Amino acid sequence: MHISEGVLSLPVLASGGAVAIIGLAFGIRRLDPNDIPKTALLTAAFFLASLVHVPIGPSSVHLILNGLLGVLLGWAAFPAIFTALVLQAVLFQFGGLTTLGVNTVIMAGPAIFFGLPVRLLIVKKAPSARTVVLAAGAAGAFSILGSGLLAAASLALSGEAFSGVARLILLAHLPVAGIEAVITSISVAALLRMRPEMILPGHGRMSVASGFALIAVLAAGDAEAHRLNVFAWDSGDLVRGEVYFADGTPVSGARIEAACPDGVVVFSGVSAIKGAFSFPAPCCSSVRIVADAGMGHRAETTLELAETLRSVPERGETLQPSSVGIMRIDALTPSAVEAILDERLEPIRQELARLARREDRVRLRDVVAGLGFISGAAGLALYLAAKRERKKNTPVSPTT
Amino acid sequence: MPCERFADGSSLLHGADPRLKILEAAAFSFVVVSLSKFGPQVISLGMAAVLVLIARLDPRELVRRLLIVNVFIFLLALILPWSVPGQVLLSLGPFHASLEGAREAASIAIKCNAIVLANMALLSTSTVFSLAHALSHLRVPPKLVQLFFFAWRYLHVLEEEFETLMRALAARGFAPRTDLRTYRTYANLIGILFLRGFDRGERVHRAMLCRGFEGHYWLLTHFRSSSTDFALAVSIGAALAAVAAVEWFPPWSS
């Protein structure tokens, strides 16, 4: 949907322009110079696809396919859609210079928001063809709905007078979303059959992990895969710990810094091989450990120190460490062993609980996939109903 | 596909420096968008009309494009009077059309047409390639300019492929209807179109590597602004300043 020149208010135009510049800067930075011809040709295909008019009932709509472009190009969809809009402005005077920013955000924003998670899902998880098709269909539908929502919002924000028009525009996008879902999913299925590498690019091409700062907001689900974790436990005299990425890869050479609650830094060093680190337990109630693996990968954890277990000579009243095993070994009843084990296992138990909590959280990906499944199922049901209806009403035409 | 229909010509604007024309079109658009009073808006429409006259554009093509652009404006003009409260102009049962709504619609129509006319006179009188060239001189990021350049360069190549596909469909008696079969056919068509684009892009890239492409274009020719270009820029700038002055310091209001 293009919004013409002279309609939107200045604040809307300015904020659209600002967001578009940020998106463009980000999209261009991530665009490999070697991919420019390919991206440009897909831009041209996207431009041409918008000239295809698909009949719907007595009327027809032209395809937009911003979701498909988002799935195929990822972040590069932003400069690609911008380019297509510039071409349209120069060639047909659809939209102009002042609305370029807003229109780019309206079309490219949802394309990336919904296309990128699907793309990441495909690249990282290599799901079955059916999942790919369903997810692509969902990306197609939701990109259009998102575009309609943004177009309506920018009109409504420009003045009270436009709220009626905004509502109409939103309504007009609903059938388009249905058609785009069907077209996007079937095209993706066709591409997957004909040229899978177009959708499943070789590894290393997409350095998904780098530059996750912006996308983390959009695709929290997959950002999780490269989140840095630090896990520490109290083992008597030493605090030991490990640094690892959320997928389990240990990180050696990460900078570790530990501080007491009062801010005194008690340890500073790097993690050794297998991401392990250790330092003497400080004399405070808890210690905050910050691990930094560079490139914005940071993690921190706070470890409660159990003071009663530690040998603190000044206090004296607890056991001397060297004598625990020897002198009291005979005094250890099974229940005492259990108590000690419980105490020692407590942090592990807590960490397990934390992991379980994280696993339980519904991720964006799941939401998208779920919505996609619903829309796909609804579409299928409608199609079958329509087909039965048609069979009932129209006699089979003699085609042969 | 209607393309650079206005780019051929020998008018003053056809020969003008595209860098300055881009800047002038941008300045014109932003000033006109910010106008809220009727008088300045009409003056800006007059300015745009003068530019179109100077550019000597083909009137039939001009009208055709204006009609397309005005479809959306027409829809707005149909809706706005009924959705803006104000002095009643016309009543149909429970609905009232307001004078303010009609004014709002008229203001949008004038501003939009002024900008579209000015863009046609200033931007469409250059070829897309020279605009891309000018953009790279205006320090637009080179990757973006290349994307624009390649997209335009291969748009027609891909369009031919697309027409071939459409002809093949027509030859097989395909008639679009509202059913899944049509949608599936179109979806496969789109899939093939994107596939051809992808393959062609890959081939273009390899061919360019063969020829020693290192990721950037050397700009061998540079635009030179003549005194006519500067005169044009100064007069457009002065006219815009005058319009802005009338908007913010109305001479008749004191």
pLDDT value of residue A368: 66
The Cα B46–Cα B50 span in angstroms is 6
Residue with the larger pLDDT of the pair A340 and B184: B184
pLDDT value of residue B176: 87
CA angle, A255 as apex, A30 and A249 as ends, to 5°? 65
What pairs with residue A120 in β-bridges?
Answer: none
Residue with the larger pLDDT of the pair B132 and A397: B132
The distance of A93 to chain B (nearest Cα, Å) reads: 6
Q: What is the CA radius of gyration of chain B?
A: 24
Cα torsion angle, A41, A42, A44, A49, sign: positive
**In this prediction, what percent of chain A has a pLDDT beyond 70?**
78
Q: How big, in percent rounded to 5, are the helix, strand and coil portions of chain B?
A: 70, 5, 25
The amino acid that residue B167 corresponds to is R
Q: How many CB atoms lie within 10 A of CB A252?
A: 14
Structure tokens at B18: 């595209």
What dihedral do alpha carbons A306, A312, A317, A318 form, nearest 10°? 50
Average pLDDT over residues A335-346: 79
Any residues with CB less than 8 A from the CB of B250 and at least 6 apart, and which? Answer: B37, B39
Cβ of B186 within 8 Å of Cβ of A31? The answer is no
Cβ of A186 within 8 Å of Cβ of B188? The answer is yes
The Cα A221–Cα A223 span in angstroms is 6
The distance of B226 to chain A (nearest Cα, Å) reads: 24
Residue with the larger pLDDT of the pair A28 and A399: A28
pLDDT, tens digit, 9 for 90 and up, residues A168-222: 888 889 989 999 999 999 999 898 888 888 877 643 344 343 333 334 333 433 3
Q: Cα-flanking dihedrals φ and ψ of residue B75, to 5°?
A: -60, -45
What average pLDDT does chain B have?
88
Tell me which chain B residue has its CA closest to the CA of residue A58. Answer: B178
* Superfamily for domain range A226-360: Immunoglobulins (2.60.40.10)
Residue B26 CA, distance from chain mean position:
11
Task: State yes or no: pLDDT of B148 exceeds 50.
Answer: yes
Of residues A115, A170, A108, the one with CA closest to residue A145: A170
The Cα A204–Cα B77 span in angstroms is 53
Task: State yes or no: pLDDT of A47 exceeds 90.
Answer: yes
Structural domain spans, chain A? 10-218, 226-360
pLDDT value of residue A109: 94
Of residues A368, A374, A356, the one with CA closest to residue A121: A368
Residue with the larger pLDDT of the pair A146 and A399: A146
pLDDT value of residue A241: 83
Average pLDDT over residues B237-242: 93
Half-sphere exposure of A236 (CA within 13 A, CB side): 8
Of residues B76, B137, B65, the one with CA closest to residue B102: B76
Instruction: Indicate the CATH number for domain A10-218.
Output: 1.10.1760.20
Q: Cα-flanking dihedrals φ and ψ of residue A399, to 5°?
A: -90, -25
pLDDT band at A250 (very low <50, low <70, confident <90, very high): confident
Q: How many CB atoms lie within 10 A of CB A59?
A: 9
**Residue given tokens 């079309």 in the structure block:** A107
Cβ of B197 within 8 Å of Cβ of A190? The answer is no
| ipTM here | 0.91
A75-79, A255-259, B27-31: range with lowest mean pLDDT: A255-259
Q: How many CB atoms lie within 10 A of CB A354?
A: 13
The amino acid that residue A183 corresponds to is I
What pairs with residue A291 in β-bridges?
Answer: A256, A299
Q: Does A155 touch chain B (CB under 8 A)?
A: no
The distance of B94 to chain A (nearest Cα, Å) reads: 16
What pairs with residue A280 in β-bridges?
Answer: A238
A29-33, A170-174, A272-276, A369-373: range with lowest mean pLDDT: A369-373
Q: Does A247 touch chain B (CB under 8 A)?
A: no
pLDDT value of residue A220: 38
Task: State yes or no: pLDDT of B85 exceeds 80.
Answer: no
Q: Do residues B189 and B176 touch, judged by C-beta distance below 8 A?
A: no
**In this prediction, what percent of chain B has a pLDDT beyond 70?**
97
pLDDT value of residue B238: 93
